[in-house]
Every structure is written in structure tokens, then in C-alpha cells.
Structure 1
Amino acid sequence: MQLTWDQVFTWRLARHYVSESGPAVPAIVERICGVQAQVGSAAETAVALRSAKPEPGALTRELGAGTLLKTWAMRGTLHALTPRSAAAFLPLMAATRVWEKASWQKVFGATPAEVAALTEAVPQVLADGPLTREELVEALLADQAFHKLGEELKSGWGALLKPLSWQGALCHGAAQGNRITFTTPAQLIPGWTDLPTAEEAGPVAVAAYLAAYGPATPETFDAWLSRGNNRKPAVRAWFSALGDALTEVEIEGVRAYLRTEDVDELAAATPRESVHLLGAFDQYVLGPGTKDTELLPAAHRSEVSKKAGWIAPIVVVDGRIAGTWELDGPDLSVALFDGAKLPAKRLDPAVARVAAALGLDAVKVRSAQTRPPSIPSTG
């Protein structure tokens, strides 16, 4: 089947609840395969911009209610996930076994045996309830076997804890003021069960990804999932296991896979003019990746993917990334690529949606810049 990129982006905007508002927060989070939550405000914005009736702190409330969990997941970054998504994606991150690589051991100073010991010890330490990072580390260091890991365990990057999260041994709990806490999925999520094997989870994860980011290749899927750290034969096997549930399509000379149930809907997609403003670290760009030149022109990648891993808020015109934006109080600045201009009548609805999502009475477009705005670093 022959498709166009304009059709693909029109379809994705609807699947992402961008051109059409979404239902409850957990359904939004599940549809887009989790929300990156390294920056809590960015995660809240991603959900609010997709909600028919955005509410301040909606994502945080769902995390507190146990309908979502926050843990290190895809690409080793913090995500808010539904339990079903966690069961699909975490085993595939565990399958990378990155902690068994000599380069990882050299940097983080832990052997595979020590990671295995931590994976066994942490749920026991957390059995009586959530602990802050300091409390968790103190409890672990009571065992002399973990003494040499003290500095890494205290690190805010959580490198030694990520393999544990991928194996379902811990996740974030409710914050205590400005301090994070850790608990286990089994304590946080009612009815939580052991994670499936990668062979069982793989096809489920592939189908979920393609439902939001298709058509896509196995390579694109694993770049999003693990930065390409899974074995290529395993990734291809997850696609193959879906059999007739997947259809290979062609988009302007590029061959990729789509869920068979979505083929007719995508083929019927009618491109139309649209402008949307999406926040920092939005899944719309993280899913395909900033190297996708159909979505984001290569010449402007550095304006979106910035220093210290920051992903700027994006202006999406007709489904493609066409610039960046920033908010300073009630004033919004737009920086379109190559000095392009947008008529106010096209931009105004997107600006109004930002105001509603962020709970602001009004947002005024202060200027349309020809260069990208300054984005604060999180480094």
C-alpha cells in the first residue's frame, strides 16, 4: 500500500490526542506509550495539552492513586506508565542486560552479581513501606557487601537502580515534599503480577508502539526503546511474532510496518492545515526520535534537541515540527525555522489551548522570532 507522509502525520496527530482531545489521563498515557517524566512539569503539560478538560496536577494524582507508576523505563529515562505498558516495556529494557557490559561496569563500578544482589535486597528493604533515597541507601549500606557502591547509590542519576526498575524490583513512590521516595510496583499497584518474559512482552510492546508511532521499522522501535541496545534478531522476532496483525506499507519510498487494523484508517486520513504547540520532552517527537528527518528537518535538529539532553517545546505545523516556543509568564514567544511566519488566525487556537492546559487566564504572543528562543538547561 502506498501512503504519504502527510497522511501519516495527520493520523498520528489524531492518535496522539493532539488534533482530537483525549479521554481520561491513564488512557492518554497508555496510548502514547508513557510520558517522559524526568521533568515533572513537562509530563503534566503533555497530558494537559491532550485532555478535553485539563486539570492542574492530573498526572500526579493518577500516580498517587496507583493507576500509573513512575519508574526508569525506555532509554533509561523516567516515565509515567500504566501498569499494562510497564509490563510490556520493562522486560525489553531488562533484556538489554546493559549492566553486564564491561563498559557499564567500568563506569558504575558494579558487577552483574552485585546488581543481582541489589535486585534481591531492595524489595526486602522496601517491604515495610516507601523510603527516601537517603533511607534506602542507608539501609542497603548496613550490609557490608554494598559498601563500595555507596557513592553510586547516592547519585541522583540512579544508574545502579535502573536495572532494578526494569526487572520490577522498585519504582518511585509518593514524594515527601521535595524528596523522592522509592517503593515496589507490587506495593503500589493493586493486582501487580510478575513481569512477563521478553519473548512474551515483545509483540505487545511493538503493537502498542505502532498504534501511536506507526508506520515504523524494527530499528526505529528499538532506538526509541533502548537506543538500539537490544539484539537485532530479538527485535525482529517480536515483529515477526505478530504475523498477520502487521502489514508492511510504503510511505514515499520508505517501507515500514503498521498494525493491520489501522491500515484503512490511515489510508483514509485526509491531510489538513493545523498548528499545535506541544511542550518540552513531548512524546510526539520522542517516539520517532529527533533524527527522523521527515518529522524534524536535519538542519534544525539542534534547535529542538539541545544541550544537556533538553528537548524544547515544539511548534507542529501540518504534523511536522516547524519551530520552537517558550513561555515567560503570560508571554509566549514563537521561533519558526528559517524565519517563516504564521498568520495569527492559525496560531491563536494553539495558544489558547496552551493557556487552558496550563491554567492561565490568557497567553499573549509576545513575538515571532527568526531564531530559536533560549531554553533553560536541566544539566
Structure 2
Amino acid sequence: MAPTLTRRQALAWRLGRQHLVGGASGPAEVVRTLAAVSVFGSDLAVRRRLASPGEPGEVQRALRDGRLVRTFSFRGSVQVMAPETAGAYLALRAAGRQWELRSWVEHYRVRPEEWPDLREVVRGAVADGPVVPQAVADALTAGRRFAHLAPQFAEPNPTFLKPFAWQGDIVLGPELDGPLTLQSPAASPAWAGIPPLDMAGPRAVLDYLRAYGPATPAHLDDWLGGGLSAGRARLRRWWAEVEPGLVEVDVEGERRWLVADDADEVAGTRPATRVVLLPGKDDWVMGPGTKDTWVVPPEQRTAMTRGAAPVVVDGVVAGTWRVHGDGVELTCHLVDADLAAARAEVSLLGGLLGRDLSLRTP
């Protein structure tokens, strides 16, 4: 018989695993756990999960010193990633080999067998980066063979840049504000390269379950399939490979799975009242997906899809919040115990933002 858990218990464990209770030692630990953090709201998302949040701009500092990198990954957007784990997710995103599609070959006039030589030129141009994309355009023009592609860099075409990012040739420069620049991921001392796909896939499955479990194969389809276009057949194969190391649990009648090594810790978790204020598109919501009613009740899904900032009560989105003047306005009604937790969270938010804030409820 599968071990039984309550939903509140499972979410309480996940809050701790994602560093929303207790806190992590540094930005890289946060991002390694979550896999990737959207650049939108990244400083608040990361600093809220640190044991010692420090001053605003921690993500920017981590990008500058190479503890984090910034690149195209999940859902085609720009994400902050940990250099030691980014390669596994990029391997999954590159697996579809989009540049070999007939439409790509015809539009960009580059045959699949020419990509290794093209990538070599690009890697050479960014090796001493960060450089402006025009520097890559100049290198392509100088070699003539790929001169027709220079405009794709001179006036940066993100669609064309993405395959170079997925294959580990480039990352975006560290500055979150200002002109776009490109550099080599190897500029980050912890960059671990792009592992073989048959290693990257099972690793990504296990990492997801460790951070977002208890979960199902459908959640994995959304995160690695919808997020990285990893392909359902591959995901089913990778799940089968790691399944001997998983344990099935019964969460109030619903079947979900955990990494077996985590089962005792989850079973021993004792829920406590928690109210957490997170930025829009936070991984707490995006990891399981807005269709997961454990975290996002149906009445909150539209707001979460549009990127509203969630008020999370005991792991569940209860409403949204915004800072207005010197107050934090919530759209949801809270009971007495939640109000006390919400006031503590507003105080924490004020510290993160460097200002005095008070709680305002409907």
C-alpha cells in the first residue's frame, strides 16, 4: 500500500525544499533547486529564498561574478540559471534540433552539416566577451561563408540566437539593464558544459521531483515537455529509467510520486501556517503549472497566467498582492492566524525592498 500524505503536508515539505521556509545559503543554491528563475522578478524570487537576503541586486551581483548565468531556456524566455546545472536543461531544449527543420534551412540558408563550423565562429567571437552582438556579425562577415547571417546578430534576432544558447555556445551578458551583450558560458567558473542527452534527461526528472514533488508524469510533461520541448516519448523513457528510485504516495486519494530518499522527510513534515508573497511567474506556480489545482485554484488561474504576484497561503494561491504607497494590498480575505503570518511576511517583504510597509486587506 502506498504511503499516505495530506496535501497540506506535501506542500509544507515543498515550501521547505524550495527554500521558502528556512532559506538557502546563496543565489546559486536557490536557482539549482528550482532549475531556472525567470529574469522577471528574479531578485525578489531569489532573495526571498535566502537565509540572509542581503541588499537588493543580489542576482545582478551573482551574474557579474559568474555564480549565475542568463540564457534562453524554459518556454523560450530568458532565465537565470546555475552554471553547474544549466547544461542539462539546455541539452533537453536542444534535443529537438530545431535548426535542422526544413523551414530553418530554407530561411537561414544553413544546412545542418554546416552548423558545427558556424558555431565555431560564434564561439570564437564571444570568447573574450561580453561583446555586443555586432562583434559576432563582424566575425561572420570577415569569414564570408556565413556573411549572409551577419544581420541576424547585427540587429539581434532572438529566434536565431537561441540554438547557440541551447548548445552552450553563448549566454547573455551579465548586465540586466542596458544594451544586449553575449559571452561564453565558460566565463562562469562553475560552468559544467552540456552533458549527453541520455544523462541529462534522467537527471532533470529527478531534480524536478526533488524540488516540485510529490508530482506526476503529467507535471513533468508540462515542465520539461511544455517548457523545454523535450518530447513526450523521451520523458516517458526517462521516467521509466528513474522509476526504481521513486516511491508512489497517496495524497488524499491522488497518486503522486517522490524520490524514495525524500519519502521519510515528507512523511515527517508537520504543517504550520505560512503566508508567502512572491513575484509574478514565480517557480512556485510555474513549476507545477497553472493547471495544477493543488497550488492554483481555478478561480486564480487567470491571474497567475497573466503574471500577477501571488499570495500563497499554506502553499496555495489565495489571491494577489501589490505595493501601493507604503502599503501592501491583498485581494484575499485572511483568517486570524493567516493575518498574523501575513503581517510577518509583509515585514519581511519591506526588508527585501528596503522600505517600511504595512498590510492592507480587503
TM-score, length basis structure 1: 0.85
Question: Paired residue for 1:375?
Answer: none
Q: SS at 1:84's partner residue?
A: coil
Q: CA deviation at 1:101?
A: 4.1
Alignment of 1:208-227 (within 5 A): 208-227=207-226
Which amino acid in the other structure matches residue 35 of structure 1? V
- Number of the residue aligned with 2:354: 359
CA–CA distance in structure 1, aligned partners of residues 361 and 156 of structure 2: 37
Q: 1:159 to 1:264 in 2, by over 3 A?
A: same
Q: In the alignment, what sits opposite 1:318?
A: 314
Q: How far apart, CA to CA, are the structure 1 residues paired with 2:250 and 2:207? A: 20
**Share of identical aligned residues, percent?**
34
Gaps of 5+ in 2: none
3-state SS of paired residue (1:119): helix
CA distance in structure 2 between the partners assigned to 1:141 and 1:322 by the alignment? 55
Question: Aligned pair count?
Answer: 356
Task: Indicate the residue corresponding to 2:23 in structure 1.
Answer: 21
Q: 1:295 to 1:102 in 2, by over 3 A?
A: farther
Q: Which residue in 2 is equivalent to 1:62?
A: 62
Q: Match of 2:231? A: 231
Q: Distance in 2 between matches of 1:354 and 1:270?
A: 25
1:341-360 matched pairs, under 5 angstroms: 341-343=334-336, 344-360=339-355
CA RMSD of aligned residues (A): 2.6
Corresponding residue to 1:35 among 20, 25, 37? 37
Note closer, same or farther for the CA distance 1:248–1:177 as it changes in structure 2 (3 Å cut).
Answer: closer
TM-aligned CA distance change 1:108 to 1:334, over 3 Å: farther
Shift of 1:219: 3.1
C-alpha change, 1:334 and 1:103, in structure 2 (3 Å) is: farther
Structure 1 pair 266–126 and aligned structure 2 pair: CA distance change class (3 A):
same
Distance across 2 between alignment mates of 1:157 and 1:334: 39
Cα offset, 1:263, TM superposition: 0.7
1:374 alignment counterpart = none
Alpha carbons of structure 1 residues 99 and 223: separation in structure 2 relative to 1, 3 Å: farther
Distance 1:176 1:224, change over 3 A: closer
Counterpart for residue 376 of structure 1: none
Structure 1 residues 178 and 85: alpha-carbon distance in aligned structure 2, compared to 1, 3 A threshold: same
Moved more, 196-205 or 322-331: 322-331
Q: Is the 8 A contact 2:136 2:150 kept in 1?
A: no
Return 5+ residue gaps in structure 1 as ranges. 370-379
Residues 256 and 69 of structure 1: CA distance in aligned 2, closer, same or farther (over 3 Å): same
Aligned AA for 1:282? D
CA distance in 1, matches of 2:176, 2:22: 36
Q: Which one is further off, 169-178 or 296-305?
A: 169-178
Q: Note the C-alpha offset of 1:191.
A: 6.0
